[in-house]
Amino acid sequence: MRKIIPLTLGLVLLVLTSSSQALTGLGFGIRGGLVQNYDNPALDLSGVDLSRMQMIGGHLNIGTLRIIDLEVSAEYAWKKKKDAFAPTFPNVDVTIADLSLNGTAKYKFNFPVIRPFVGLGLGWHRLVYSSSGPSGSYTIPDDENTWSWQPVGGVGLHFPAVPFEIFLEGRYTSIQTSGKNTNYTTIIGGLTFNLP
């Protein structure tokens, strides 16, 4: 399973950059966001509020003539809760982390300044759960590597005389974790610097 995502992304990149579809632009950028309503059924931590987790990352955009851009991104979301099980189990800190590599195909509506877009992507996730402090009768799930699917939608602002684009994006992520899926939404904002 670990090899399927990179091979799929490589195949999509090869198709998009073939001689029949020339590149129209490259760009790289930074992003940050807020993961909301993180719902992993295997994670039963009543004292940990997972309604919001911070996220940072970077991305590479590859534009094609057919208005479909390929975006490859790496993102890291995390949450740390001190005394997560207090007062029953004091001094137990819990950390939740989600490292993901994502590939997304985006269809952009090319208006002069405002550029709405919709897309669909696949991701590979490394989910890590850890606790520090005395052990007790609480359960921390095992770390897991798995994939996700991700519909996205948003808007970009591109000014002709400026070499960068500002974007705001909403994304729904469904990670195929063992048992039931882990689902959440993310609000992402960032900058893309367009290469000449």
Distance CA 118, CA 111 (A): 14
pLDDT digits 0-9 by tens, 158-176? 888 888 999 999 999 999 9
Domain boundaries, the chain: 4-194
Distance CA 47, CA 68 (A): 43
Tell me the average pLDDT across 105-125.
92
Residue 109, SS3? coil
pTM for this model (two decimals): 0.80
- Cite the beta strand spans of 82-181 per DSSP E: 93-108, 114-132, 144-158, 164-175
Tell whether the model's pLDDT for residue 61 goes beyond 50: yes
Half-sphere exposure (Cβ direction) of 1: Cα atoms closer than 13 Å: 11
Overall fold of domain 4-194: Porin (2.40.160)
Higher pLDDT, 61 or 6: 61
Distance CA 76, CA 19 (A): 35
pLDDT value of residue 3: 57
